[in-house]
Structure 1
């Protein structure tokens, strides 16, 4: 056997082995869950909470917490968290919404916290739709805000595309999870291998409510340019908010982030009469000739 052919076979076999490993190990690489015992008791100082457990049709249990505001409720924020830990740690962010009079419902995906069940993209999407339907039994859709953080941004976009919430807020979103993983494995056929493609850009096309995208300029995991690209998918309904110097995990440490959340949740913009603006004024690039 020629030496060059031997090398090609070795490379091909290695490529196949790595591809198989990526397919079966991606759950361990993508998700960093924190599992909690069934009898774990949640506690947050100065927070009024209520715990819920939802049994799905396949027997899984989805655990969630409802954080209640101290004032009359303005609605509910369904907060879809990132890919690490559990709502035990994520619960501290609920105050950013309860302070504005919103209930906040946080849930753990399958395999996170107290939630059980076999995880898949289809199963998580189905779970979240069931939860959304439960919210609709308690309130009207014009009082439901979808907030997706990092991993949760794709699921939030999918929910918004299939329902009619008051608004969709995406925090450090990705164009698609396939694009994110491609940065670390550029030569692998990820469009075939990845079990969680989460094409946020596809789902945003069908969203009919206001879309607010928040992203930090110093995000090393999901670059800021991703949100610029996403903001062009459904531009008439989308506003992009930039946290100068913000990274992937520290936006809540910036005053500007909290100002943005305040403006998004409390602002009631009036319809602008564009006929009174310069929107249709055309500027010529040609120099006019002056005749004597």
Structure 2
């Protein structure tokens, strides 16, 4: 057998093995869950919380925490967290919304914290819609803010595209999870292998509420340019907020992030009379001279 043919066969075998490994191991690579015992007691200093368990139609249990503000509630933030830990650790971020007198509902995806059930993209989307439906039983959609952080940004975009919340906030979002993984495995057929493609850009096209995207310029996991691209998907409804120097996990350490959140949470969408602006002014035209 020629050397080149032998080498080609080995290359093909290696390619197939790697592809199979990516397909079956991606849950372990993508999700970093923290398991909690059923009797675990959540506690946050100076936070008023209530725990809920939602049983899904396939028998899974989705565990959730509701954080309540001290003042009269203006609405509720449905907070979809990232791919690691459990709501035990993510709960500390609720204060960024309760301080503005918003309730905050955080849920653990299947296999995280106290939540159970077999995990899949379809199952998680269905779970989140069921939780959203429960929220709608308690309040109107014009009081619901959907907030997606990192992994949760794709699910948040999907949820907003299927409903009519007050606004959608995406924190360090990805264009699609397939695009993110392609950075690490550029020669693999990821469109076939990835079980969680999460095409945020596709879902954003159908969102009809205001969209706010927050991203740090020094994010090395999901580059800032990702949000620049996403901001162009549904430009009339989208505003991009830039945290100069912010990374992927430390935006809450920047004063600018909290100023942005204050403006976003408390702002009112107003129509602008564009006829009174310079939007149609043409620059650089030359006047024709009379011959």
Pairwise same-fold verdict (TM > 0.5): yes
Secondary structure of 2:39's counterpart equals coil
Unpaired runs of 5+ residues, structure 2, are none
Secondary structure of 1:179's counterpart equals helix
Secondary structure of 1:131's counterpart equals helix
Match of 1:3 in 2: 3
Unpaired runs of 5+ residues, structure 1, are none
User: Residues 93-137 of structure 1, C-alpha deviation per residue, up to 9 Å, x if partnerless?
Assistant: 000000001000000000000000000000000000000000000
Match of 1:63 in 2: 63
User: Residues 18-49 of structure 1, C-alpha deviation per residue, up to 9 Å, x if partnerless?
Assistant: 00000000000000000000000000000000
Give the length in aligned residue pairs: 291
| Counterpart Cα distance in 2 of 1:21 and 1:290 | 72
Q: 1:1-292 counterparts in 2 under 5 A? A: 1-286=1-286, 288=287
Secondary structure of 1:170's counterpart equals strand
User: Residues 130-185 of structure 1, C-alpha deviation per residue, up to 9 Å, x if partnerless?
Assistant: 00000000000000000000000000000000000000000000000000000000
TM superposition shift of 1:283: 1.7
| Counterpart Cα distance in 2 of 1:207 and 1:260 | 21
Secondary structure of 1:236's counterpart equals coil
Q: Please, which moves more after superposition, 18-27 or 267-276?
A: 267-276
Q: Please, which moves more after superposition, 261-270 or 95-104?
A: 261-270
TM superposition shift of 1:285: 4.7
| Counterpart Cα distance in 2 of 1:202 and 1:57 | 27
| Counterpart Cα distance in 2 of 1:242 and 1:63 | 33
Secondary structure of 1:90's counterpart equals helix
TM superposition shift of 1:269: 3.9
| Counterpart Cα distance in 1 of 2:162 and 2:54 | 21
| Counterpart Cα distance in 1 of 2:154 and 2:191 | 16
TM-score when normalising by structure 1: 0.98
| Counterpart Cα distance in 2 of 1:253 and 1:31 | 24
| Counterpart Cα distance in 1 of 2:253 and 2:2 | 61
Secondary structure of 1:227's counterpart equals helix
Secondary structure of 2:236's counterpart equals helix
TM superposition shift of 1:289: 6.7
| Counterpart Cα distance in 1 of 2:235 and 2:123 | 30
| Counterpart Cα distance in 1 of 2:273 and 2:136 | 34
| Counterpart Cα distance in 2 of 1:213 and 1:136 | 24
TM superposition shift of 1:290: 6.2
User: Residues 39-64 of structure 1, C-alpha deviation per residue, up to 9 Å, x if partnerless?
Assistant: 00000000000000011111111000
| Counterpart Cα distance in 1 of 2:195 and 2:285 | 51
RMSD (CA atoms): 1.1
| Counterpart Cα distance in 1 of 2:129 and 2:270 | 32
